[in-house]
Amino acid sequence: MSKTVSFITRNFGKYNPSSLASYEFIGGFTALRKALDMDGDAIAQLLADNGVQGRGGAAYDMGRKWSQARAVQAPHKCVVCNADEGEPGTFKDRELLSKDPFQLLEGMIIAGWAVGADNGYIYMREEYSHLRPQLLSAIEQCEKAGYLGENILGHEGFHYHIHLYSGAGAYVCGEGSALCESLEGHSGRPRMKPPFIKQCGAFHLPTCVNNVESLSLVPPLLLDKDGFYKSQGTPDCPGTKLISVCGNVKNPGVFEVPFGITLREIIYDLAGGIEDGHQLQLVQLGGASGRLASPAQLDTQYTYKGMKGADLTAIGSGAILVVDERTSVIGFLRMTQQFFSHESCGQCTPCREGNRHIARFLDKIAAGTHTEEDIKLMEKYANIMSTASMCGLGETAQSALLSAMKRFPEVFAVKKEVAVR
Amino acid sequence: MKPFAQKLNELTPELVALVDDVIARHNGDPTQLVGILLDLEAGVERHYIPEPAAYYLAERLSIPPTQVYDVISFYTALHDQPRAKYTLQVCDSAPCRVKDSDALCETLKRLLNLEVGEVTYDGRFSIEKVPCFGACDVSPAVRVNGVVYGHLDSEERIMDMLRQLD
C-alpha cells in the first residue's frame, strides 16, 4: 500500500486556482454534468456505497445525510459548507480552499442538486480571510459561466446560488446550530435540539451541513469509474482521508492517506519523525477535542473501527498533533483546558462551570498539591460535562483529560506527603 | 446611558462614509452582520468598532444596537476598544505552544516593552494571545492584520517580521 495518494487532492498544483478556464481545461465540471443526469437518490446512494463518512469530525454517514436532506419536503432548502475548521492542529481545509476552490464549488452545486436546495452558504473562518478574494472571484466566474444562477446548464428549474459568509474567531461556530445562528447575523450560541438543523437550520430552512473535505470529495467520486476510491484503504473502511500533522515533527503538513495506514507510518514516514534527539511523549488525534494516544499505540490502524477499538478518537477532523517529552502531559492538558475555558460559549452550566473547575484541578496537579479526592471529583466533573452539555463542545472538551487518566495514570498519582495530610 | 441620538452626534463624515461603503458591499443584508463588522474593523486604523459607528450601523440595518454589541462581545475577532495599527496575534493553542510560542511571546514582550493586551504609546503595536489560526505547519506563528508570519523560532526572525510591518 502506498503511503500517500492523490484523489481528493488530485488537482493540487495542476491548475490556476483563480481561473475557471484553467479548471475547465483539466476537466472541471464534468462531474457536475454527470450529476445533473443522475437522480439525487442515486448520488446519495453512490456516497453510501463508497462508505463516505463526514470529514468534519462527527463522521456521520454522508449518503444517509443527503438522502435525509432530500426527503425533507420544503419549498426552500439550503446547503452549508462548514469551513470553520477551528480544531487546533487542523489545516486540511485551508489547503483545499486555497489550492482547489473550484472543486469545492462543484461539490456544493452537486450537493444542491442532490438534496434539492436553492442556496448554498460557505461559512469560512475569519482566520482564512486571506482566501476570501480568490473564493469570491471563483463564485463570480461560476455565475458568469452559468454553473450558478438560474436554470443551471439548461436544467429547467434548477436555481442555485452560493454565498460566502465569514466567521469571526469562535470555535463553537463549527457546531451546526451555532453556525446557523452565526449565518443569521447573531452570536454563535448552539440551539437546543430538536428541531435538528436538517429540519430547521439556517434562516429556519432545512439545512444540510457538510465539511469542506466531504464536499470536495464528491466530484472525484462521481468520476471514479474504475473504483479507485473503494480500492484504497481497508475492506471495512475504504477510501482516502486528508490529515494534517503538526507539532514536534520534522516535516509537518497536509497529506492524503489511504485509511488503514498506521500512526507510526504517518508520524515517522510521512512527517519525518520526531524533531532531533527528542522522544515521543503523546499524540493528540482530531484536534483539541480529541483523545490522547500513548507511544505504545502507534501501531493502531488509522480507520474508524481501528481507532475506536484502541479507544481513540475515530479520525475526527484528521488532525494529528505530535508532542515530545519537552511538554509534560499535565502541561499539555492545561493548554487544551485553557483553549476550552476560552471557547466555551457559557450558555449551559456543565460546560461553563465544568471547564472552570477542571482548570483549577489541573493547576493543583501541576503544583503537586492534589489529593485522591481531587482526582475523583475531577473525573466526575469531566464525565458530567461529557454527558450533560448542550453541544459537542462541552461533550468532547474533556476527552483529552479522560483519555490521559487512562493512559498516563502515573502523572495523576498523589504525592505521598499530601496523601498523609 | 446617553440617548442614541447623542451617540450619532459623535459620528465623523469619514466614519459615515466607511459604514455606508461596507453596508453597500454587503447589499445592506443584516444577516451578514458578522462580515460587516469585520470589514468595518479592517477599515478603521486601530482595528476596532467605534461606538458611534456601531449605533449608526444598527440604525442603517434596522436592527437593535444590542444585537450589534451581542455580536461584537461574543466573537474573538471583533473589538469595541481601540487596538493597535499592527496587533501581533500570537497563537496560544497547543500546536504552537508545544513549539514554544511562549518563548516567542516573551521575546515580543521584551522587544516592544509591552505586556499582552497593552498598546504602544504611538498606537502602532500591541500583543494579543489568540486561539489556533490554522498555521500549525509553520508554528510558532504570529498573525498581523490577516497575514501569517511563521517559523518565528529565533530572535532574528522575529526582528525580521517586525521590520516588515513598518
Residue of B nearest to A275 (CA): B99
Which range has the worst mean pLDDT, A87-91, A195-199, A304-308, B121-125?
A304-308
Q: What gap in Å lies between CA A241 and CA A258, rounded to an integer?
A: 6
The answer to the question of residue A306 being in a domain is yes
The answer to the question of residue A25 being in a domain is yes
The CATH code of the domain that includes A371 is 1.20.1440.230
Backbone angles phi, psi at B153, to 5 degrees: -105, 5
Residue B34 touches partner A, C-beta closer than 8 Å: yes
Residue A134 touches partner B, C-beta closer than 8 Å: no
Query: Do A195 and A243 fall within a single domain?
Result: no
Q: Of the candidates A173, A194, A222, which is a domain's last residue?
A: A222
Q: By the 8 A CB rule, do A395 and A382 touch? A: no
Query: Do A208 and A277 fall within a single domain?
Result: no
The answer to the question of residue A145 being in a domain is yes
DSSP label at residue A127: G
Query: Do A268 and A307 fall within a single domain?
Result: yes
Q: What is the 3-state secondary structure (H, E, C) of A35-63?
A: HHCCCHHHHHHHHHHCCCECCCCCCCEHH
pTM reported for the whole predicted model: 0.94
Q: Would you state the cell numbers that stand for residue A251, as one nine-digit string?
A: 516535516
Query: Do A120 and A137 fall within a single domain?
Result: yes
Average pLDDT estimate for A117-137: 96
Task: Return the closest-CA partner of residue B129 out of B121, B120, B140.
Answer: B140
The answer to the question of residue A15 being in a domain is no
Tell me if A339 and B94 make a contact (CB, 8 A cut-off).
Answer: yes
Q: What gap in Å lies between CA A262 and CA A269, rounded to an integer?
A: 10
Cell numbers 463542545 correspond to: A393
Query: Do A136 and A246 fall within a single domain?
Result: no
The answer to the question of residue A61 being in a domain is yes
Query: Do A104 and A201 fall within a single domain?
Result: yes
Q: Would you state the cell numbers that stand for residue A54, as one nine-digit string?
A: 463526514
Q: Of the candidates A175, A204, A222, which is a domain's last residue?
A: A222
Residue B121 touches partner A, C-beta closer than 8 Å: no
- For the question of an ipTM over 0.90, the answer is yes
For residue A13, the tally of other CB atoms under 10 A from its CB is 9
Question: Is the pLDDT confidence value at A419 over 70?
Answer: no
Q: What gap in Å lies between CA A248 and CA B4, rounded to an integer?
A: 53
Query: Do A281 and A340 fall within a single domain?
Result: no
The answer to the question of residue A415 being in a domain is yes
What local confidence, expressed as pLDDT, does residue A421 receive? 52
DSSP B42-65: HHSTTSS--HHHHHHHHHHHT--H
Write the pLDDT tens digit of every residue in A234-271: 998 999 999 999 999 999 999 999 999 999 999 999 99
The answer to the question of residue A371 being in a domain is yes
What local confidence, expressed as pLDDT, does residue B4 receive? 64
Taking contacts as CB-CB distances below 8 angstroms, the residues of chain B near A185 are 30-34, 63, 67, 71
Q: What gap in Å lies between CA A419 and CA A374, rounded to an integer?
A: 11
Residue type, A126: E
Query: Do A304 and A378 fall within a single domain?
Result: no
What local confidence, expressed as pLDDT, does residue A319 receive? 94
Taking contacts as CB-CB distances below 8 angstroms, the residues of chain B near A85 are 134
The domain total for chain A is: 3
Q: Would you state the cell numbers that stand for residue A170, as one nine-digit string?
A: 469562535
CB within 8 Å of chain A, chain B residues 55-94: 63, 67, 70-71, 73-78, 92-94
A80, A129, A173, A184: which to substitute to probe chain B, counting the most B Cβ within 10 Å?
A129
**A61 beta partners:** A53
Query: Do A318 and A336 fall within a single domain?
Result: no
Distance from CA of B34 to the nearest CA of A (A): 6
Query: Do A199 and A128 fall within a single domain?
Result: yes
Q: Which long-range CB contacts under 8 A does A143-152 form with residues at least 24 apart?
A: A145/A20, A147/A29, A147/A32, A147/A105, A147/A106, A147/A109, A148/A105, A148/A109, A152/A36, A152/A109, A152/A113
The CATH code of the domain that includes A253 is 3.10.20.600
Tell me if B34 and A345 make a contact (CB, 8 A cut-off).
Answer: no
Write the pLDDT tens digit of every residue in A37-84: 999 999 999 999 999 999 888 889 999 999 999 999 999 999 999 999
Q: By the 8 A CB rule, do A113 and A36 touch? A: yes
Q: Which residues contact B144 (CB under 8 A, 6 or more apart)?
A: B86, B87, B88, B89, B165
Domains and CATH numbers, chain B: 4-74 (no CATH), 86-165 (3.40.30.10)
Average pLDDT estimate for A350-372: 95
Q: What gap in Å lies between CA A291 and CA A239, rounded to an integer?
A: 23
Q: Would you state the cell numbers that stand for residue B131, as one nine-digit string?
A: 486561539
Query: Do A169 and A199 fall within a single domain?
Result: yes
Residue A255 touches partner B, C-beta closer than 8 Å: no
- Give the structural domain span for A296: 232-324
Q: What gap in Å lies between CA A274 and CA A251, rounded to an integer?
A: 9
Task: Return the closest-CA partner of residue A130 out of B105, B133, B61.
Answer: B133
Question: Is the pLDDT confidence value at A109 over 90?
Answer: yes
Q: Would you state the cell numbers that stand for residue A288, as one nine-digit string?
A: 483539541
Q: Would you state the cell numbers that stand for residue A227, as one nine-digit string?
A: 473504483
Question: Is the pLDDT confidence value at A420 over 60?
Answer: no
The CATH code of the domain that includes A28 is 3.40.50.11540
> What is the band of B166 on the pLDDT scale with cuts at 50, 70, 90?
confident
Residue type, B24: A
What local confidence, expressed as pLDDT, does residue B10 receive? 83
The answer to the question of residue A347 being in a domain is yes
Q: Of the candidates A184, A200, A222, which is a domain's last residue?
A: A222
Q: Looking only at Cα atoms, what is the longest distance across chain A?
A: 80
Query: Do A85 and A212 fall within a single domain?
Result: yes
Percent of chain A having pLDDT more than 90? 92
